[in-house]
Amino acid sequence: MIDLDPVATNKPLSSDMTTDIMPQRPALMMTIYLLLALALLYTLYFAKSLLMPIVIALLFSLLLSPLVTLFKRFYIPRTISAILLLTMIGGPFTILAIELAEPSQKWLSQLPQLSAQLTEELDNISQVMSPDTASVKTQPLPAKEESFFSFFSSDQEPQVAQEIKTAGNSALSARVKRGGIEIIVSVLGATPIIIAQFMTFLILVLFLLIFGPKLYDNYLDIFPSGADKRPSVELVGKVQKELSRYIITVTIINIGLGMVTAGVFWLMGVNDALLWGALIALLNFAPYVGPIIAIIILSLAGISQYGMGLVSLIPAAIFFGINLLEAQFITPAVLGRHMRLNPLILILWLFIWGWLWGPAGVLLAVPLLVCIKLAAAQLHMFNHWVRLIETSA
């Protein structure tokens, strides 16, 4: 009996068999990486209510940890400094939220009325876009003699067409109104979940600021060897420094953008200028997507105040001009080259995190991408991907 197994006969593999096996390894590794990526996306999507406050707390504690360490040098306990910092940061935001609560409730209550106004304008536009039907509606029907055969004629077609048009307009109006009511219901329904996640975020930030550094030091002493401790400390310090610089810089720029826009709106007499300024500052944390949403909201606000006309687009146009100046000149000059991100990769990254975690994911997308890029650059890993991410437009 002839044994054809080269391993059993202790014979080396031939060159043909080696070339047949080697091309299978990249395909196998690519399949494994794809399955791992899909598993990660599945976990991020279905565990977002748990992971979202944890990720936000980690970023926030990474930002505030240097200040807590600085207070520790002046013999201030970490517990007191952490509570003091959270109070100092949360106090102005709480006052701002109280000031904006009344105009926000007013706009939420006006949303069905605004939807009805928009549907009325849409009905008018639809009438303009269909002049044949409108002319049929306005022209009187000619008087005809009634006969037995008139029951089988098509004299009722204009009336039927008008009824179909009226039914379509009413259906469109009802759909838009229902959409506005659904937005209010969804916001009210998500309030308990948002409050629970906010409380989880506060507790996690306090515990991370108080007990996190000691736990990290013990981890470095217990698990890695002495040769691995220094790169780990340098990595955390570098990411902490650069991320703090990025978040603080972007926050100052966005607050300035909101204040300037609110001031211009106040001088123009736009209603609730402070509310729009705060909303613009928040939305500007999401590049490209946030300003587009702000333009849409400001257009609706202009329609509500000035009616359907070109003057209603003035608030959106003013914000577009201010945002264009900020995005093209101020932010690139302040952040510099090291925080440069390719626009195409950034917008795809925003879409992915928006699909995973909704509005919170859009706001977290850029800090997470900055953290990943800084960590990869510090560890000298994925250098080609880092250079690709930093590719300028």
Torsion of CA 126, 113, 281, 101, to 10 degrees: -170
pLDDT at 186: 59
Residues 6 or more apart in contact with residue 9 via CB below 8 angstroms = 3
Please state the domain extents for the chain. 51-133+166-223
pLDDT at 125: 64
Q: What are phi and psi of 141, to 5 degrees?
A: -75, 135
Could you tell me the pTM of the whole model?
Answer: 0.69
pLDDT tens-digit readout, 11-20: 554 555 555 5
Sign of CA dihedral 135, 138, 144, 147: positive
State yes or no: pLDDT of 206 exceeds 60.
yes
pLDDT at 257: 93
State yes or no: pLDDT of 103 exceeds 60.
yes
State yes or no: pLDDT of 117 exceeds 90.
no
- 282-to-68, 204, 277, 359 alpha-carbon distances in Å: 26, 23, 9, 11
State yes or no: pLDDT of 351 exceeds 80.
yes
Q: What are phi and psi of 349, to 5 degrees?
A: -65, -40
State yes or no: pLDDT of 320 exceeds 90.
yes
State yes or no: pLDDT of 361 exceeds 60.
yes
pLDDT tens-digit readout, 216-266: 878 777 776 555 566 767 777 777 788 888 888 888 999 999 999 999 999
pLDDT tens-digit readout, 123-171: 666 666 665 544 444 444 444 444 444 444 444 444 544 544 455 555 5
Residue in 48, 46, 180 with CA at minimum distance from that of residue 118: 180
Residues 6 or more apart in contact with residue 356 via CB below 8 angstroms = 41, 44, 45, 48
pLDDT at 154: 47
Q: What percent of the chain has pLDDT over 90?
A: 10
- Mean of the pLDDT values across residues 363-384? 82
- 357-to-37, 55, 116, 348, 386 alpha-carbon distances in Å: 17, 11, 31, 14, 24
Residue type at 55?
Answer: V
- Mean of the pLDDT values across residues 298-302? 87
